[in-house]
Structure 1
Amino acid sequence: MTLLAVAVFVAVALLLHSGLKREIERAREHDLEGKIDVVEHLLEEVRSPADVPALTHHLNDVLIGHGQMRIWLVGENGRSLYGGSQPPVLAKTANQLEVVREDGLVMQARQVSIPAHPVLGHQALIVAIDARDQEAMLRRYGNRLAIVCGVGVALIVLISAWVARRSLRPVRQLSEEAAALNPRSLSSRLSPVNTAEVQELVHAFNSALGRVEAAYGQLEGFSADVAHELRTPLATMISSTEVALIRDRPAAELREVLGTNLEVLRELSSLVNDMLFLSKADQGQLADRLDPLDLRDQAEHIAEYFEPMLEEQGVRLRIEGNAKVQGNAGLIRRALVNLVGNAARYTPRGEAIIIELKMLESNAVRVSVRNPGPALAPELLPRLFDRFVRGDPAREKSGSHHGLGLAIVRAIAVMHGGRVFAGSQNGWTAVGLEWPNQRASAPSA
């Protein structure tokens, strides 16, 4: 800002100074031209040698009131006819003609050749003017411009500093508030400000802070849930192993303990694998090997897999519709397994689970698994696909799963560029996923 103010003031000052200088030079040239015209007119009135004294008198009258001006008439023999006993010394510069007066004063001049006069003959007319007063005035004007420019620059700098300090006060306040944020104060938000532009930044920052708080809360909850899921089986293994090692036991009894521990380790391995799969999905990994799929064939394959378990529970499985799309067969089957397994846990005996396959008008496919049963609480639906969230708060019927099934379904949908959905009304619960028929970029989860 300071440099810009200096540049503007200097440019204006130079423009004004050069404009005044041109006007002074133009006025000086006008005065010289005017005196030359007057002298030429007086020379035309000299018709005889008797008129020469009158010429001298008239020339003296011309100079009255013009003490800064001199006139010389120099004959062709170099003799001064008027203006002094000696002709002036002429000096030419790049832009103008200068006259050095007998007292050494340098004056700006104009020289005109007079044609052959019937009385005076050939002669040169020199009109000079003393420009010292004009140059002094120009210097004073320049000095005043410099003072005005300096004062103006100083005022602009002071005003700009005041305005900037006043304008940046909300920014400094917001910077202090942002610097005070830490993981223990993520619920805090930046204070609103009166400046519209800065308020937009505050709103965007607070929105980002809200997302960070939610992500941090999910991370803490995820860590706590992982610890909870790992603690119980690990404690069971440790206890059974300690009991087995208290005294000598038969090989068959030790084999039974090892078999139990092996089942627990397999469950933990499954949990770790699921967590690794979700981690890859969170990092934006997309499904590879997209092949043409007949979803009804995939659903029938899953129905055969669940047939023994569903017969034991007295639950039927029905497939409605068909769709042929591009997808990863392994991932789609895994999503169907999780959806059907989740529905089977909450479907009453004698009822049916429905797998609905449907092509949408937007060239996307929808896979929905519906089952009758208790309605889900509305506040649970938005969190149904979060990790370690179970539909049954009492965690009944949950000994064989860890609450990652629907989170994996969402990850598979995201890896196909799609999304998940869930609804519960009129005694039916529908959970599923949909994705475009062609590969798309993964949407935000």
Structure 2
Amino acid sequence: ALGAGYLIARRGMRPVARLAEIVDELGAGQLHRRVADEHWPRELRTLAANFDRLLGRLETSFNRISRFSADIAHELRTPLHILRGEAEITLSRRRSPAEYQACIESAMEEYGRLSGMVDALLFLARAEQPDARLDKPMLDVREEAAAVCAFYQAMADEQDVALINEAGGLVAANSGLLRRALGNLLDNALRHTPAGGRVCIRTTIQPSLLQIIVSDNGSGITPEDLPFVWDRFYCADAARLRQGQGTGLGLAIVRSIMQLHGGEVALQSELGRGTTVTLSFPMIATETPVLR
């Protein structure tokens, strides 16, 4: 009986040993592998299926981090090459003080873009931390929108674009983050709205949501670009990135801010007719992991 029990137990443990062997072989380069494809006893099928789901989540996260790292390297390389090239050309021979000053002024523009990019990346990294905390007092949406509009009014006047604030109501949100989200949306709208156009901020109240809507009658976004507008470093107009007019992180930051508030963001756009972005905030404040 002892001998038979030992043999039966040993045979029954073979699948467990096989599963442990497969798990031990897995590494960063084998996250695409799935263990449930093999024939497992009924007792181990649920474990194998759950482990495959875990591998799928790890593979998705690892690929996202890899793409993000590659994007960062690519975006930082361009301004660094510009700075180095201008410095090498300037130092290739003796130049006048005015030429040195022009080189420094050009470098300052690139430094500003690099600084903005780093700040945005740090914000996105902190926003993904699960232990972050956010203060969300009740805010007057009209006052918050008015403060943002006042900041961008000079840019709107220069481009002959009407900036209209029709927002109202109260929302539980962090003032700094709400203004940053609205600022990013206004900046995008003003850059893509021609002279004589208009950019409007208004609110609507749903049964459980307060929606802040930022709309413009600008150039709009092509249907091909719409699925990618929330991706980090994505910009439909690549020339803007080359000219230092953007980093491709504005909408990604808006989405992170809404996630921190437990809300949602939606975008609708029609080429040649304009874009509408809707920020949906819960009417009742809830505890959500957020940023200080």
Same fold by TM-score greater than 0.5? yes
Deviations 1:26-46 (A, max 9, x none): xxxxxxxxxxxxxxxxxxxxx
Deviation at 1:181, TM superposition (A): 2.1
Residue 410 of structure 1: which of 255, 261, 269 is its match? 255
Tell me the amino acid that sits aligned with residue 126 of structure 2.
K
Partner of residue 78, structure 1: none
- Aligned equivalents of 1:168, 1:377: Cα separation in 2: 55
- Aligned equivalents of 1:440, 1:243: Cα separation in 2: 55
Three-state SS of the structure 2 residue aligned to 1:187 is coil
Partner of residue 129, structure 1: none
Residue 384 of structure 1: which of 229, 232, 237 is its match? 229
- Aligned equivalents of 1:377, 1:206: Cα separation in 2: 35
Farther-moved stretch of structure 1 (187-196 vs 267-276): 187-196
Three-state SS of the structure 1 residue aligned to 2:190 is helix
Deviation at 1:379, TM superposition (A): 7.7
Partner of residue 422, structure 1: 267
Residue 199 of structure 1: which of 40, 45, 54 is its match? 45
- Normalised by the length of structure 1, the TM-score is 0.57
Partner of residue 395, structure 1: 238
Which structure features the higher share of strand residues?
Answer: 1
Give yes or no for contact 1:376–1:429 (8 Å, CA) kept in 2: no
Partner of residue 442, structure 1: 289
Deviations 1:384-435 (A, max 9, x none): 3332122x1x513333111111121122223323333334469554334333
Farther-moved stretch of structure 1 (269-278 vs 298-307): 298-307
Three-state SS of the structure 1 residue aligned to 2:285 is coil
Give yes or no for contact 2:161–2:198 (8 Å, CA) kept in 1: yes
- Aligned equivalents of 1:234, 1:345: Cα separation in 2: 25
Deviation at 1:213, TM superposition (A): 1.3
Q: Is the alpha carbon distance of 1:270 and 1:425 closer, same or farther for their aligned partners in structure 2, counting shifts above 3 Å?
A: closer
Q: How many residues align?
A: 284
Structure number with higher relative contact order (C-alpha < 8 Å, ≥ 6 residues apart):
2
1:283-432 equivalent positions in 2, closer than 5 A: 283-284=129-130, 286=132, 288-362=134-208, 364-372=209-217, 373-377=219-223, 380-381=226-227, 383-390=228-235, 392=236, 394-398=237-241, 399-424=244-269, 429-432=275-278
Tell me the amino acid that sits aligned with residue 238 of structure 2.
R
Three-state SS of the structure 2 residue aligned to 1:396 is helix
Residue 33 of structure 2: which of 188, 204, 207 is its match? 188
- Aligned equivalents of 1:233, 1:219: Cα separation in 2: 22
Give yes or no for contact 2:211–2:280 (8 Å, CA) kept in 1: yes
Tell me the amino acid that sits aligned with residue 141 of structure 2.
L
- Aligned equivalents of 1:199, 1:425: Cα separation in 2: 48
Partner of residue 38, structure 1: none
Residue 115 of structure 2: which of 257, 266, 269 is its match? 269
- Aligned equivalents of 2:35, 2:246: Cα separation in 1: 42
Three-state SS of the structure 2 residue aligned to 1:387 is coil
Residue 224 of structure 1: which of 55, 59, 70 is its match? 70
Partner of residue 255, structure 1: 101
- Aligned equivalents of 2:276, 2:13: Cα separation in 1: 54
Q: Is the alpha carbon distance of 1:220 and 1:285 closer, same or farther for their aligned partners in structure 2, counting shifts above 3 Å?
A: same
Deviation at 1:344, TM superposition (A): 3.0
Extract unaligned runs of 5+ from structure 2: none
- Aligned equivalents of 1:223, 1:272: Cα separation in 2: 13
Three-state SS of the structure 2 residue aligned to 1:190 is coil
Give yes or no for contact 1:287–1:328 (8 Å, CA) kept in 2: no
Deviation at 1:280, TM superposition (A): 1.1
Deviations 1:91-143 (A, max 9, x none): xxxxxxxxxxxxxxxxxxxxxxxxxxxxxxxxxxxxxxxxxxxxxxxxxxxxx
Q: Is the alpha carbon distance of 1:247 and 1:396 closer, same or farther for their aligned partners in structure 2, counting shifts above 3 Å?
A: closer
Deviations 1:296-350 (A, max 9, x none): 1211222232233234444333344422122221111011011122233334554
Give yes or no for contact 2:145–2:167 (8 Å, CA) kept in 1: no
Q: Is the alpha carbon distance of 1:167 and 1:349 closer, same or farther for their aligned partners in structure 2, counting shifts above 3 Å?
A: farther
Tell me the amino acid that sits aligned with residue 361 of structure 1.
P
Q: Is the alpha carbon distance of 1:188 and 1:408 closer, same or farther for their aligned partners in structure 2, counting shifts above 3 Å?
A: same
Tell me the amino acid that sits aligned with residue 438 of structure 1.
A
Give yes or no for contact 1:286–1:415 (8 Å, CA) kept in 2: no
- Aligned equivalents of 2:212, 2:133: Cα separation in 1: 17
- Aligned equivalents of 1:172, 1:425: Cα separation in 2: 57
Tell me the amino acid that sits aligned with residue 19 of structure 2.
L
Q: Is the alpha carbon distance of 1:244 and 1:430 closer, same or farther for their aligned partners in structure 2, counting shifts above 3 Å?
A: same
Deviation at 1:286, TM superposition (A): 4.0
Q: Is the alpha carbon distance of 1:380 and 1:209 closer, same or farther for their aligned partners in structure 2, counting shifts above 3 Å?
A: farther
Partner of residue 172, structure 1: 17
Give yes or no for contact 2:133–2:289 (8 Å, CA) kept in 1: no
Three-state SS of the structure 2 residue aligned to 1:430 is strand
- Normalised by the length of structure 2, the TM-score is 0.84
Extract unaligned runs of 5+ from structure 1: 1-151
Farther-moved stretch of structure 1 (192-201 vs 225-234): 192-201
